[in-house]
Every structure is written in structure tokens, then in C-alpha cells.
Amino acid sequence: MEKTIITVEVLVAAPVVKVWEYWTDPAHIIQWNNASDDWHTPRATNDLHVGGKFNYRMEAKDGSFGFDFEGTYTVVDLYQKIEYNIIDGREVKINFMQEGDLCKVVESFEAENQNSIELQRGGWQAIINNFKKHVEATP
């Protein structure tokens, strides 16, 4: 069966060094890693190196549902690229590109089979949009 790759992207009004820091620092991850206001990430760990692991606990604020989003890094190129395998084996690739005063973040991931492509794209796009909002609103 052929893998479906979904891509989301955002332009952030910040230098790539700040974008990278906010993408990888657990203190920032817990601030932006949610697709809607009724969800949150109460804790995050991140061991950012090839072979390192991350775990973001994502939960509905009302306590009705939660899960660990976790994986292992396969590529870490400082300020340029991060690749990892989610615990279920799917691959994710994130590229960071400085374009003048903006940093373009492009995230591509293998779709899973439980939710529609549109729902997955929408959820991941909402998260990356929250990331942009957090970076641009925080000094």
C-alpha cells in the first residue's frame, strides 16, 4: 500500500534561530502544541539528537481524552532540518528555511489510517499555526 504524505507549512516573522528554539524547547512546546483551544500539552520532554526521543502529552482540557505523541529522531541538522519516526513507525520531516525576515517551516508526515486526510491536515496545520502565533507573540 502506498504511503500518503501530508504537508503543512507556515511563514513565521522571526529569525530561524528563534524558530528552532521555540520548536524544540519543551518550555515553548507546551505553549503551542495543540490544535484547538480545548486541548493542551501539559508536559513535554525532548532529547534533540539522532537517536534521542521526545514525548508530548496531549490532552483535552476537560480530561475526557489524552495521548502521548512520541518518537525517535533520525536526522537533526541545526537550524535546517529535523526528521523523526513516530512510535507507530510513521516518518515526519520538518524543514526550516530563512526567507528574508521570515522563516518558512514545512512539515511533511505520513498519514495514518484512522482519520481522514482532511482531518489530519487540518489538525497539523492548526498546530503549526499556533506555533507561528506563539513565536510572533513572544519576545
Give me the CATH number covering residue 63. 3.30.530.20
The residue segments making up the domain with residue 40 are: 5-137
Amino acid, res. 4: T
Domain tally, the chain: 1
The mean pLDDT of the chain is: 97
- Count Cβ atoms within 10 A of the Cβ of residue 3 and give its class: 0-12 exposed, 13-18 middle, 19 or more buried: exposed
- Cβ pair 51, 78 in contact under 8 A: no
Q: Give the Cα separation of 129 and 70 in Å (integer).
A: 20
Q: How do residues 72-97 score in pLDDT, each as one tens digit? A: 999 999 999 999 999 999 999 999 99
Q: How do residues 100-125 score in pLDDT, each as one tens digit? A: 999 999 999 999 999 999 999 999 99
pLDDT tops 90 at residue 1: no
Tell me the torsion sign for CA atoms 68, 118, 29, 74.
positive
Q: How do residues 6-37 score in pLDDT, each as one tens digit? A: 999 999 999 999 999 999 999 999 999 999 99
pLDDT tops 90 at residue 139: no
pLDDT tops 70 at residue 38: yes
The Cα angle at residue 54 between residues 49 and 60, in degrees rounded to 5: 155
